[in-house]
């Protein structure tokens, strides 16, 4: 397994392709003797003549032609590889795989995704939704480039950047219009039917813990599995929904929902963007990260 210097094959390729050592030299920004020498090295290493030299240039011997048939392919592949890498660098191709929750995609990431896709239409976007632990697993398995979840994240393998803050709150529809403008205590709130996100949500755990710290037990009248339902049920007056305020900004503005204020301050939730520590980011991923950072 000796293996010649691959650089020699580049010289051979151009010499064979152009039928002239002089031309090959020009293409490669070398001098003619360099090319001559390189070819000689190859010929010596194989113990076979590759070219016949004549006064107008060179032409391949049968053995040289055999070699060329392989090297040409090989050379083309390298050319394609270099093109591809340039594309990847210029974000003309590649993919960006992001893990997160559907609601974060919809209410937080969507405008960034649109802008990114407009600017780099060659990058394939892949959105993978799952719970926070699932997202972490996907990251570690290399199935996604970025994970977008609620803080806090504590995992030594992960590098987490804090992004925007989200503020959770309680909202209700016209059915509970009497609460508009009021400042409720936890106790007062608990007299109303509460709608919470289903059990394994981190936001739900956070609010349940908060109530628990104040000595109250927050148990929902209704549990739902999607943010859309959380909104819908509150509007229909089935209860008071606990939800991220930013996800209902439209409804709050148009007045179909209003915030039910508590006298206890709800701690804000950070959105964290996770990447694997010490694993280099894809060009696409690092560009995207720069935009949402």
- Site residues (CB under 8 A) for its own copies? 2-7, 9-10, 46-49, 51-54, 61-63, 66-67, 70-71, 73-75, 77-82, 84-86, 88-89, 94-95, 145, 278-283
- Classified as helix, coil or strand, 199 is coil
Q: Which of 17, 30, 93, 137 binds DNA (CB under 7 A)?
A: 30
The token pair that represents 224 in the structure block: 């739902």
The residue among 3 and 154 lying less far from its own copies, judged by its C-beta, is 3
- Classified as helix, coil or strand, 257 is coil
The residue among 54 and 213 lying less far from DNA, judged by its C-beta, is 54
The residue among 23 and 261 lying less far from its own copies, judged by its C-beta, is 23
Q: Which residues of 31-66 are buried (b: 16+ CB within 10 A; e: fewer)?
A: eeeebbebbeebbeeeeeebbeeeeeebebeeebee
DSSP state, 106? I
List, in sequence order, the alpha helices (H) in 95-172. 102-104, 110-119, 132-140
Q: Which does 218 bind (CB under 5 to 8 A by kind): its own copies, DNA, none?
A: none
Instruction: Output the DSSP codes for 160-172.
Output: EEEEEEE-EEEEE
Q: Which of 36, 132, 208, 244 binds DNA (CB under 7 A)?
A: 36
The residue among 15 and 248 lying less far from DNA, judged by its C-beta, is 15
Q: Which does 279 bind (CB under 5 to 8 A by kind): DNA, its own copies, none?
A: its own copies
Q: Which of 2, 3, 29, 213 binds DNA (CB under 7 A)?
A: 29
Q: Which of 17, 27, 37, 129 binds DNA (CB under 7 A)?
A: 37
Q: Name the burial class of residue 188, with classes exposed (0-12), middle (13-18) and buried (19+) by CB atoms within 10 angstroms of its CB.
A: middle
Contact map string, positions 53 to 92, toward DNA, x by CB under 7 A: xxxxxx----------------------------------
The token pair that represents 263 in the structure block: 């006298």
The residue among 64 and 173 lying less far from DNA, judged by its C-beta, is 64
Q: Which of 14, 16, 20, 231 binds DNA (CB under 7 A)?
A: 20
Q: How far is the CB of 233 from its own copies (least distance, A)?
A: 42
Q: How far is the CB of 258 from its own copies (least distance, A)?
A: 46
Q: Which residues lie below 8 Å from residue 12, measured CB to CB, with a gap of 6+?
A: 38, 39, 42, 50, 67, 68, 71
Q: Which of 16, 21, 227, 276 binds DNA (CB under 7 A)?
A: 21
Show contacts of 51-58: CB within 8 Å, 24+ apart: 51/15, 51/16, 57/18, 57/19, 57/20, 57/21, 57/22, 57/23, 58/15, 58/19, 58/20, 58/21
Q: Which parts of this chain interact with DNA (CB under 7 A)? A: 5, 7, 20-23, 25, 29-34, 36-41, 51, 53-58, 278
């Amino acid at each position: 397994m000796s293996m010649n210097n691959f650089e020699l094959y580049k010289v051979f390729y151009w010499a064979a392709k152009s039928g002239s050592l002089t031309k090959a030299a020009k293409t490669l920004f070398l001098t003619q003797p360099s090319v001559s020498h390189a070819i000689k090295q190859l010929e010596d290493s194989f113990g076979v003549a590759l070219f016949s030299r004549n006064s107008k240039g060179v032409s391949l011997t049968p053995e040289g032609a055999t070699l060329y048939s392989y090297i040409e392919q090989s050379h083309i592949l390298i050319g394609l590889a270099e093109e591809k890498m340039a594309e990847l660098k210029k974000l003309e191709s590649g993919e960006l795989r992001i893990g997160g929750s559907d609601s974060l995609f919809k209410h937080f990431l969507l405008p960034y995704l649109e802008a990114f896709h407009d600017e780099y239409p060659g990058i394939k976007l892949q959105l993978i939704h799952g719970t926070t632990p699932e997202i972490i697993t996907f990251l570690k398995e290399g199935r996604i480039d970025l994970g977008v979840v609620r803080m806090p994240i504590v995992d030594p393998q992960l590098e987490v950047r804090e992004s925007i803050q989200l503020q959770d709150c309680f909202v209700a529809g016209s059915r509970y219009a009497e609460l508009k403008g009021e400042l409720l205590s936890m106790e007062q709130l608990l007299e109303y039917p509460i709608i919470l996100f289903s059990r394994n949500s981190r936001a739900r755990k956070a609010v349940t813990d908060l109530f628990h710290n104040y000595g109250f037990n927050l148990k929902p009248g209704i549990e739902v599995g999607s943010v859309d339902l959380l909104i819908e049920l509150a509007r229909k007056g089935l209860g008071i929904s606990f939800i991220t305020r930013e996800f209902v900004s439209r409804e709050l503005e148009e007045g179909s929902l209003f915030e039910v204020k508590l006298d206890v301050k709800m701690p804000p939730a950070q959105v964290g963007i996770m990447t694997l520590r010490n694993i280099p980011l894809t060009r696409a991923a690092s560009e995207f990260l720069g935009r949402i950072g």
